[in-house]
Amino acid sequence: MRWIISRLHLKATLSDIQWEKIKADNDGHIYTIPQFAQKDGTVDASTSYGGEAFWIQKRVLKWANYPEINTVEQYFDLINKYLAENPDTDGQKNIGFEILSDDWRYFCLENPPQFLAGYPNDGAAIVDPDTMEAKVYDKIPEAKEYYKILSEQFEKGTIDPETFTAKYDQYIAKLSSGRVLGMIDQGWNFQSAKDSLVSQGKDELTWAPLDLTLDENVQPQYREGGVLSTQGGIGITTSCKDVDGVLQMWDDMVSEKGMILRNWGEKGVDYEVDDDGMFYRTDEQWANWKDTDYVQKNSVAFGYMPGYRGYLPDGKNTILPSEQISEFRKTLSDIDKEVLDAYKVDNWTQMVRLQDPIQPWFPIYTERNKWTSSDPAGIASQNMQEVKMQWLPKVIMGGPAAYEQNWEDYMTAYDSQIDYKAFEDTLTKEVKRRVEIEKELEAKVDK
């Protein structure tokens, strides 16, 4: 910690209590520094949405005159109506819905029930905010209802028949073709497909995010607030010959000058400053930064180096040009402006409701990083993954007629092969520990 304290810019990327949380979760030491920091209390300036959502092509929304879509049922109803009247794109058959299931990315298949039930992305389980008890979301009623809907859509042909066998590259290739009307995914996971379509001038074939539930009375919590990961980040090896030099480099990178250079570029070349001190880009400068060749030759954002989001120290200019209020709209295509205007929002982030105030344990999935293959919870977690990867495609592809029996067989396998009680108990213990630590750290920092 003394190394970080001596680097004021680096220290300022997090609040005092956030540094204390990292120490409390790592034997009283700081071994790594989070690269994607957001200090407590800072304003979320993001304009693009990179989290989980049910995504739908903008052309589909336009075709339907921008309807209100709140439930999974409404979502698939729209997709099926569009498919019926628009079966092809550029001579190729349209695909109604994709579910990426390849390797660790199978979260697209297994984690929607937590969102559909109105919980945020704790990832490993849902947590009751009153009892602080963690429960697996695989057995909740919303899970059974959701996968039954998918079984119906699979039988109709709305879901890609290759969705459970496609590798990630194949998935991206299908999205990049512009034929996929919708999918459930994290926004960052298909950025390359979006970029490909935008570079071809096919913005109407890109997607807008929707935070769906099964019941319209349930408040969704898809969009995560600024969260701190106390596990992982960037560190320095014990063999490093110049620790002080590395830390000084990082400190320079998160200084005001460093953050401007990394994200805005060079004044007079990549951006301008008006009489009020507000940064902006000319049309020519924006054109440059839409050119992948120009970006590759002139930009090194050091995305995995320490940094932070929100606003520069001047309090009025955003870290990212695309998040500057006056500049964001300049980056939009006509269809983008039309979609945002139709839903009366200023940016894509506002399409998705922000989760309720972040609880001290959020996100609880980071606890799994500590488990080993010999821990009961770790064994349960591995078995859980294997059972879900085996059975969820089966219950979906089996169709509605066999659904009840397939679900029963799935639950039988789940109960017999997974010690999910050990999984839940370990997470519940960690939830309560984090709550107590939060209280202790708040008292410590307040002194």
What would the mean pLDDT of 335-347 be, rounded to a whole number? 96
Q: Are 165 and 396 in contact (CB under 8 A)?
A: no
Is residue 72 predicted with pLDDT exceeding 80? yes
Q: Are 225 and 358 in contact (CB under 8 A)?
A: yes
CA atoms within 13 A on the CB side of 42: 25
Higher pLDDT among residues 3 and 152, named by residue: 152
Least confident of 35-44, 121-130, 293-302, 311-320: 35-44
What would the mean pLDDT of 338-355 be, rounded to a whole number? 95
Q: What is the pLDDT of residue 226?
A: 75
Is residue 291 predicted with pLDDT exceeding 90? no
Q: Are 51 and 224 in contact (CB under 8 A)?
A: yes
Is residue 132 predicted with pLDDT exceeding 90? yes
Q: Are 310 and 42 in contact (CB under 8 A)?
A: yes
- Rounded Cα–Cα distance for residues 423 and 442 (Å): 29
Higher pLDDT among residues 324 and 21, named by residue: 324
Angle made by CA atoms 2, 42, 130, in degrees to the nearest 5: 95
Q: What is the pLDDT of residue 153?
A: 98
* Band of residue 5 on the pLDDT scale cut at 50, 70, 90: low
Closest C-alpha among 112, 133, 124 to residue 222? 112
- Rounded Cα–Cα distance for residues 94 and 311 (Å): 41
Q: What is the pLDDT of residue 4?
A: 54
Measure Cα distances from 345 to 137, 223, 339, 341, 401 in Å: 31, 15, 9, 6, 42
- Provide the token pair at 414: 């789940």
Task: Compute the mean pLDDT over every residue in the chain, rounded to the nearest whole number.
Answer: 92
Closest C-alpha among 221, 16, 43, 255 to residue 122? 221
Type and span of the H or E element at 92: strand 92-93
- Rounded Cα–Cα distance for residues 224 and 216 (Å): 20
State pLDDT tens for residues 163-208: 999 999 999 999 999 999 999 999 999 999 999 999 999 999 999 9
* Band of residue 309 on the pLDDT scale cut at 50, 70, 90: confident
Q: What is the pLDDT of residue 3?
A: 55
Closest C-alpha among 376, 402, 374 to residue 154? 402
Q: What is the pLDDT of residue 208?
A: 98
Q: What is the pLDDT of residue 45?
A: 84
Exposure string over 280-317, b if 16+ CB within 10 A, otherwise e: bbeeebbebbeeeeeeeeeeeeeeebbbbbbbbeeeeb
What would the mean pLDDT of 227-248 be, rounded to a whole number? 88
- Rounded Cα–Cα distance for residues 61 and 55 (Å): 11
Q: What is the pLDDT of residue 18?
A: 86
Preceding amide of 363 cis, omega within 30: yes
Is residue 1 predicted with pLDDT exceeding 60? no
Q: What is the pLDDT of residue 440?
A: 85
Q: What is the pLDDT of residue 20?
A: 86
- Rounded Cα–Cα distance for residues 125 and 431 (Å): 11
Q: What is the pLDDT of residue 8?
A: 85
Q: What is the pLDDT of residue 39?
A: 66
Q: Are 53 and 348 in contact (CB under 8 A)?
A: no
Is residue 399 predicted with pLDDT exceeding 90? yes
